[in-house]
């Protein structure tokens, strides 16, 4: 019994919300990896249906700790943030990323991979539907990492440490992507975390991520 009491005393030293965020986010990411797409979600388009399903999982699951710990929207980065600053910043970052993408597509097999939804190559209607679904998915994805995890952990931890912590699962979730993209996600996680911290919002990360993915799809079709 003394051993149990000793471990309980150690556990009580943890901040409850910080511990919950780490445990809950780990659980949700495992669910997203193992759970299949519900058949009632766009049965004719399983790839798009899974993107919608995952976007909902990432976007809605953080509201469990949000309500349990009585957070305000800005506690999880739900805000327009510093609107006079970040729109200009993401345009600059997007320009840099487009140059990097052009080089990467030229000297790698990324052009074989993108667009991930192959029908996007065969008609504007398919392309636009895919981008709309991808935007929904990106908002949920970025809210999970650069909103819920980043800002939630920053309430009690050093913001710089929070950036590094959320980068770990973010990068690991890219393990099925092409190696160049997977390794690049480590730097992207840190970079996106810094953008969110400076902006006071996860929104610029969602917009930038979607625009970069859009650029990759366009380059993949053109080249």
Domain-located, residue 1: no
11 has pLDDT over 80? no
Percent of the chain with pLDDT over 90: 76
User: Full-prediction pTM beyond 0.85?
Assistant: yes
pLDDT of residue 3: 72
157 has pLDDT over 80? yes
pLDDT of residue 20: 95
Domain-located, residue 10: no
pLDDT of residue 189: 96
pLDDT of residue 10: 64
Residue among 169, 164, 159 at smallest CA distance from 200: 159
Express each pLDDT in 54-108 by its tens digit: 999 999 999 999 999 999 999 999 999 999 889 998 999 999 999 999 998 888 8
Confidence of residue 7 (pLDDT cuts 50, 70, 90): low
Range of the domain at 82: 17-222
Confidence of residue 115 (pLDDT cuts 50, 70, 90): very high
Domain-located, residue 59: yes
Number of folded domains in the chain?
1
Range in 17-26, 69-78, 103-112, 123-132 with the lowest mean pLDDT: 103-112
Express each pLDDT in 176-216 by its tens digit: 888 888 999 999 999 999 999 999 999 999 999 999 999 99
12 has pLDDT over 70? no
Instruction: Taking residues 149-169, report their average pLDDT.
Output: 96
Distance of alpha carbon 175 from alpha carbon 12, whole angstroms: 34
Q: How far is CA 165 from CA 13, 16, 181, 200, in A?
A: 19, 17, 19, 18
Distance of alpha carbon 75 from alpha carbon 63, whole angstroms: 12
Confidence of residue 110 (pLDDT cuts 50, 70, 90): confident
Distance of alpha carbon 122 from alpha carbon 175, whole angstroms: 28
Domain-located, residue 141: yes
Domain-located, residue 208: yes
168 has pLDDT over 90? yes
Domain-located, residue 11: no
> What does DSSP assign to residue 109?
S
pLDDT of residue 161: 97
If one counts every other C-beta atom within 10 angstroms of the C-beta of residue 60, the result is 14
Domain-located, residue 154: yes
Domain-located, residue 115: yes
Q: What is the mean pLDDT of the chain?
A: 92
**Cα-Cα-Cα-Cα dihedral of 191, 72, 16, 139, to 10°?**
-40
């Amino acid at each position: 019994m003394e051993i149990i009491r000793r471990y309980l005393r150690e556990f009580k030293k943890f901040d409850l919300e910080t511990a919950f965020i780490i445990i809950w986010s780990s659980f949700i990411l495992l669910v997203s990896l193992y759970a299949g797409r519900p058949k009632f979600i766009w049965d004719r388009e399983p790839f798009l249906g899974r993107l919608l399903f995952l976007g909902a999982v990432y976007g809605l699951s953080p509201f469990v700790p949000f309500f349990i710990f009585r957070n305000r929207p800005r506690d999880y980065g739900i805000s327009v943030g510093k609107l006079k600053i970040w729109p200009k910043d993401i345009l600059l970052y997007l320009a840099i990323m487009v140059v990097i993408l052009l080089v990467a597509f030229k000297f790698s097999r990324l052009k074989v991979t993108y667009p991930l939804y192959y029908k996007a190559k065969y008609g504007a209607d398919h392309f636009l539907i895919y981008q709309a679904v991808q935007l929904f998915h990106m908002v949920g994805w970025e809210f999970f990492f650069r909103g819920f995890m980043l800002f939630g952990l920053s309430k009690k931890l050093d913001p710089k440490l929070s950036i590094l912590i959320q980068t770990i699962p973010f990068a690991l979730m890219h393990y099925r992507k092409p190696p160049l993209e997977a390794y690049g996600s480590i730097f992207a996680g840190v970079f996106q975390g810094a953008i969110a911290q400076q902006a006071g919002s996860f929104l610029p990360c969602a917009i930038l991520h979607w625009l970069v993915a859009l650029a990759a799809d366009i380059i993949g079709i053109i080249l």
